[in-house]
Amino acid sequence: MIVAWLSVEDFRNHRSTRVHFDAARTLVQGPNGHGKTNLLEALDLLSGTRSFRGAASEVLVRSGCGRAIVRAEIERRGRTHVVEMEIAAGGRSRAQVNRNPVRPLRNLADVVSTVVFCPTDLALPSGSPSVRREFLDEVLGRTDAQFRAVRADFERSLRQRNNLLKQTGRSPDHEALATLDVWDTQFAAAGEIVAERRIALCAALAPDIQSAYTRLAGVETPVHLSYSAPWRESGLAEMLSSGRRDDLRRGATLVGPHRDDLEISVDGLPARTHASQGEQRSIALALRLAQHSYTAAAFDDPPVVLLDDVFSELDDGRARRLVDCLPSAQTILTSAMGNVPDGIEFGSCVHIRDGAATTAP
């Protein structure tokens, strides 16, 4: 996939910015806080995902405006697509491809494919289980429409079940129990599929993660992935039934894929507690590199690589090794002045200052 150009209107601090990208590598450079990351964020939003910075839609719209517009021209498998998203400060956002509406927004992933490397990725090995679950679901959601639908069913049934548990309290009546049975059935069915797909993904990613980690760390240390879901031995439906009393007492669903974890070990020890900072950074980068390989294989087309000021977080050795590991794909990199490793060549350079862009060859 190639992004020919990106335009944003009233997006964060950008009033009106249009940027053309080199088919190989583009450097987006400028002082911190002037809007470099905003452009990568806008482009990634066109893949139908939430902001990789965790921002709500109202934050994405420039202060004082009611909406923001993001457009891009995408070249994919010999076809050109113009993708457009209208982000509402209040209410629902809308998207279209070649003027045809796309609903739900998550289905934009079938047209726009990106992989983002950003400093917050460093929390992947050491952060909470939710960070690693989100990583797995992100990879699957960007590559599989069926998984996106199942996950939406799972999240809806979890939300409805939790709402019912909170409303019912410890003494549910017959009607509440019958309704809970319905949500248990839907939650268990979707949850089993979500877990199965996550487990299969771990197995698929493992070889590429090992290979990337070895190259990034410069040492051949075994890295192991294990999906932790204690409920799977008995099955989710059985665990929901046996744990219903505790769920009613707590007003929440206590077992299921929403509480699972992706456990990562380095040389047999848990990365979350035993890996050094350098090892954790290598793991985080290896996860993203493996995601790129998996996504490229799924679409038979490499996704665009978005590197958001990643090199500022790496020592010189890992920075050079990351450059050597970057896939053969269009790459857009942001960096403050002077933070680009030696040896990176760019086809074009975009300078950002105060939300405005100028391009130099």
* Boundaries of every domain in the chain: 1-113+301-361
d(CA 76, CA 119): 28
Q: In what order do the strands lie in the sheet with 114-117?
A: 114-117, 304-308, 331-335, 25-29, 348-353, 356-360
User: What is the domain class of 1-113+301-361 according to CATH?
Assistant: alpha beta
Residue 165 tokens, joined: 């548990």
pLDDT in tens, 287-316: 999 999 999 999 999 999 999 999 888 888
The residue behind tokens 């920075």 is 319
- HSE toward the beta carbon, residue 16, CA cutoff 13 A: 0
Which class for 78: exposed (0-12), middle (13-18), buried (19 or more C-beta within 10 A)?
exposed
Question: Within 13 A of 268's CA, how many CA atoms are on the CB side?
Answer: 0
Q: Read out DSSP for 149-197?
A: HHHHHHHHHHHHHHHHHHHHTTS--HHHHHHHHHHHHHHHHHHHHHHHH
Based on DSSP, count helices (H) and strands (E) in the chain, helices before strands: 11, 15
Whose CA is closest to 219, among 273, 269, 278?
A: 278
Indicate whether 337 pLDDT > 80: no
Q: Is the pLDDT of residue 317 over 90?
A: no
Which helix (H) or strand (E) segment is 225 a member of? strand 223-228
User: How far from 284 is each of 124, 303, 314, 328, CA to CA, in Å?
Assistant: 6, 18, 12, 20
- The arithmetic mean of pLDDT across residues 73-96, rounded, is 94
Average pLDDT over residues 312-336: 90
In this prediction, residue 361 carries a pLDDT of 59
Residue type, 346: F
Query: Contact, 355 vs 15, CB < 8 A?
Result: yes
Q: Is the pLDDT of residue 204 over 90?
A: yes
Q: 334 to each of 25, 124, 262, 329, how far by Cα in Å?
A: 11, 21, 29, 16
Alpha-carbon gap, residue 319 to 31, rounded angstroms: 20
Q: What is the mean pLDDT of residues 111-131?
A: 94
Q: What pLDDT does 185 receive?
A: 97
The mean per-residue pLDDT over the stretch 13-41 comes to 95
- Token pair belonging to 151: 């996950």
pLDDT at 315: 85
> Would you say residue 145 has pLDDT above 70?
yes
Closest to 262 (Cα-Cα) out of 224, 213, 222, 228 = 228
The closest alpha carbon to 360, from 26, 5, 6, belongs to 26
How is residue 9 written in tokens? 């209107």
Give the pLDDT mean for 346-355.
Answer: 92
* pLDDT in the model for residue 338: 58
Cis preceding linkage at 257, omega within 30: no
Q: Is 102 helix (H, G, I), strand (E, B) or coil?
A: coil
Q: In percent, how much of the chain has pLDDT > 90? A: 87
For 209-242, the pLDDT digits (tens) are: 999 999 999 999 999 999 999 999 999 999 999 9
Give residue-wise pLDDT tens across range 33-64: 999 999 999 999 999 999 999 999 999 999 99
What does the angle CA 171 – CA 176 – CA 178 come to, to the nearest 5 degrees? 125
Q: What's the pLDDT score for residue 29?
A: 92
Token pair belonging to 253:
């669903």
